[in-house]
Each structure stands twice: as structure tokens, then as C-alpha cells.
Amino acid sequence: MVKISTNNNYKSALTHPVFKVLSDASGKLNLETYIIGGFVRDFLLERGTPKDIDVVAVGSGIELAKQTSELLASHPKISIFKNFGTAMLKTDEMEIEFVGARKESYDRNSRKPAVENGTLEDDQNRRDFTINALALSLNPETFGDLVDPFNGLKDLKNKIIRTPLDPDITYSDDPLRMLRAIRFACQLEFEIEKESLAAIKRNKERIKIISFERITDELHKILLSKKPSIGFALLHKVELLDIILPELTALQGIDEIEGQRHKDNFWHTLEVVDNISTATDDLWLRWAALLHDIGKAPTKKFDKKAGWTFHGHEFVGSKMTYKLFKRLRMPLNEKMKFVQKMVLMSSRPIAISGEVTDSAVRRLVFDAGDHIDELMTLCEADITTKNPKKQKQYLNNFKKVRERIVEVEERDRIRNFQPPISGEEIMETFGLKPSREIGVLKEAIKEAILEGEIPNEYEAAKAFMLKRAEKMGLNKI
């Protein structure tokens, strides 16, 4: 539940000693100075103490940063970005960014504005949302006064996302703001004002000038929110999702043939993502939940006997995951491989939950390796039935699988195991050079362990190897 501070003494936001130093620095330079944006918003929402502070000066933000550093006892080093007219300094507890108040104008083909010096009013006009245009004065004579030209405080109380100026201009100038609006609505559980939402839909094509890196950063933040479905449902409503993640929107809809229907896999997916978000903060596991069914759209078929089928959707989905990560400029490293593995294996625990045999559990643990717990968490989140009896049954089945995993793992040590007999030992035993026979023997030993024919022990594996080699016509030297 979002809280709004009822404390009208806004000076209570500025009790940290650094704010007195900032005020003294602005007084020495005779500069109008304000805290603006996220720090003020989050203070009013009682979201804890923000660590990032945006300071706007009517004049040179860089000079204000230098003066502040001189007055601070630690004299922190300043990072200056002359091209942007900004500076940054870090204290032990905070990161403070300084900028001069400015006016902006945009070229239609870029989100990088032409900038000129401006007033505080100009600077507030260029802000994305009314709730981010709130400012607290650091000037000695008005210290702690709230400057709120767009009724941002009212929008905070009413839980509304609204642009300060015409939303068509705001979103067309910088289309990333469309994603930011949806992200804030998702994180804060606010509503986007009706005209603003309509403007996002009208300007959706403008998102194509934004880099995939920027888009992905906003998607990450939506996925890491308490209830990601809010954000993805909004992205779908304004048709941005069609542009950004068409693999997801392809899942929407219910087809019916001869009275047989399948569930809407898009809305099912959003439920799964919400479910998993109650169990883990792992971004990549949440991505796995979002993508676990993307292979169902290209594999969907109707069979008169079997009804609707999605054969091989996990394999197809894992291949699609690589292409999606590459397109969105996400890391193609172990993180991508983890998501791929989760998508590929997303149905495995479901398939064995009816009859939990040791062999099936051993294979599951072997293939999942260190990620078996994450896989089980994903499968538990995949239960979206509204039938309480079925839900309880499925959860109990997965509980049994988890228990059997512990039992089998303790006994057989299967997780990430390497067969007890190496390829080198096989070559030495039978006087072989690298050849097909070595691979055949290693695979046979692995299968025998997974099937429970032999224990995961060296002597048993060696005895098995000698017998199998004899059948293959290999002689020990």
C-alpha cells in the first residue's frame, strides 16, 4: 500500500547535514537551488530514504558542485560532464547530481534535446511527470519550501501518473517516457491518467527511436516490481508490447475447434510472472517465467484425437529465447543460458509429478544441475488453475518431487556429477586412441547410474565398464 506523507513540514526531508552544506554553498554563490525529482517523490511516498539526489541550480550546477565539495569535510572528488553541464559527487551515504536549470527542445528523430539555460519553471516544465516535477528549496531564506506548479502532490495522493504538459508532446519528444510512465504505474501501483494513456498509444511507433538497451532497462524494472503483470498488461493495452515483445502478444487469444478450446497463454503467462514474483527477486528467473511459454504460438496445432497440442514448445521456446535476448541487447552469457535452460525444462517436473520414480528424479537433477531449485520454483508458479482442489493436488505433487530430489541427491550425488570413469582411463584400459567407442562407454556408464542399475561409485562403474566393453569386443590390455 502506497503511503503519502501527511507531514507538511517538508524540512523534515532535509535533516541530513549534507542539505545544510548544499544550502550554504548556494548562499555563497547566490544561486537559486532546489532538490527535485525522485528524492522528493519518494520522501512524500514514505518509500524510505532515497540515496540519489538531483540538485538543480538556476545557474551553473558545476560551480555549485565545486563549492559543495569545498564545504564538505571529506572534500569528495567531483565528476564533471561538461558536454551535459552536469557534475556528480559521492558522499559515504549519497550520490548527488548537479545540473543547471534548463529549457529543452527536441528534434523528431532523436530523444537528445537542444538545451539552453532556463529558470526553475523551465526545468519543471521539461520533467516527465507531475510527481517528478516536485521540488524542495535549498535557498537559505525559503529552505524546505515545496514548489509544486503542476499539482504533483495531489497526483501523488490520488495515485495518478500525469505529464506536466501536453502528453503527446511529452511522449513524442522523448518516447522513453512512455515506458517510464508504465514502469512507475507498475512500481507504485498508480493509474496513468486517461488522456496520457491514450497519448502513449497514439505515439507508440515513436518507441522505435529508443535504443534496445534503454528499453530493456525499463523492462527489467517492471519485471522486478511487486506485481509485474500491471506493467505488461499496460504495455499490451497501448500496443507497445507488439513492438517490443511480439513473442508474448502472439500467445494471446483462445481458439476453438469442434468445441475444444485452449487457455489464453498470454494472460496465463502474466499470472505465472506474478506468482513467481512472490517467491523470488531473481531477475533472470522472472525472465524465465515471462518466456516459459513463448514456444506455444509457433507449435500450436489441433488434432481431432488429441485436441490442441503444443508439442516441442519448450525446445522451440529455448531457441526463441536466444534470438530475443540478442535483439534486446541482453547478455548472451550464463544469464541467457540459465533462462534458456529454464524454458527448455519448464515442463519436466510436471511430467514426472504423477509417478515420481528414482530414475526420473535422477535425470531431472542431472539435467537441471545447480538450478533444480529455481526450476521447481518456476513449475510451482506455473500453477494458475482456479480450482482449489486441483491447485492443492498440483502443489502436493511438486512437494513430493522436491522431497524425492533431496532423498535421491543425498543417496546418489547426481547433481552435476561427472561419471566416475574418465575418457582417459577408458583409453588406457583398452589401449584406445580417441574414438567413438570411448563416447559410447562413457554414455553407457552415465545411463546405468541414472537408471539406478549401478551406484554412482568408482568400483561399480569400472565393473560395469569392463562387462560392457566385453560385449563391444574390446579387450583390456
Tell me the whole-structure pTM to 2 decimals: 0.85
Least confident of 91-95, 143-147, 378-382, 408-412: 408-412
Helix (H) / strand (E) element for 285: namely helix 283-291
Residue in 194, 138, 139 with CA at minimum distance from that of residue 161: 194
Mean pLDDT of 147-162: 95
- Categorize the per-residue pLDDT at 3 as very low, low, confident or very high, splitting at 50, 70 and 90: very low
Give the three-class secondary structure for 405: helix
**Cell numbers found for residue 51:** 540515496
Residue in 51, 14, 12, 56 with CA at minimum distance from that of residue 33: 56
Distance CA 441, CA 465 (A): 7
Distance CA 447, CA 455 (A): 11
Evaluate whether 345 touches 316 at the Cβ level (below 8 Å). Answer: no
Is the pLDDT at 160 greater than 90? The verdict is: yes
pLDDT tens digits for 341-354?
Answer: 999 999 888 767 66
Distance CA 289, CA 274 (A): 9
Is the pLDDT at 427 greater than 60? The verdict is: yes
Evaluate whether 53 touches 95 at the Cβ level (below 8 Å). Answer: yes
Distance CA 73, CA 284 (A): 42
Give the pLDDT of residue 477. 73
- Which alpha helices (DSSP H) does 92-165 contain, by range? 120-125, 152-158
Evaluate whether 444 touches 420 at the Cβ level (below 8 Å). Answer: no
Give the pLDDT of residue 472. 87
Give the three-class secondary structure for 76: coil
Give the pLDDT of residue 325. 98
Residue in 102, 77, 74, 81 with CA at minimum distance from that of residue 17: 74
Domains and CATH numbers, the chain: 10-158 (3.30.460.10), 160-244 (1.10.110.30), 423-471 (no CATH)
**Cell numbers found for residue 202:** 497514439
Evaluate whether 28 touches 67 at the Cβ level (below 8 Å). Answer: yes
- Categorize the per-residue pLDDT at 115 as very low, low, confident or very high, splitting at 50, 70 and 90: low
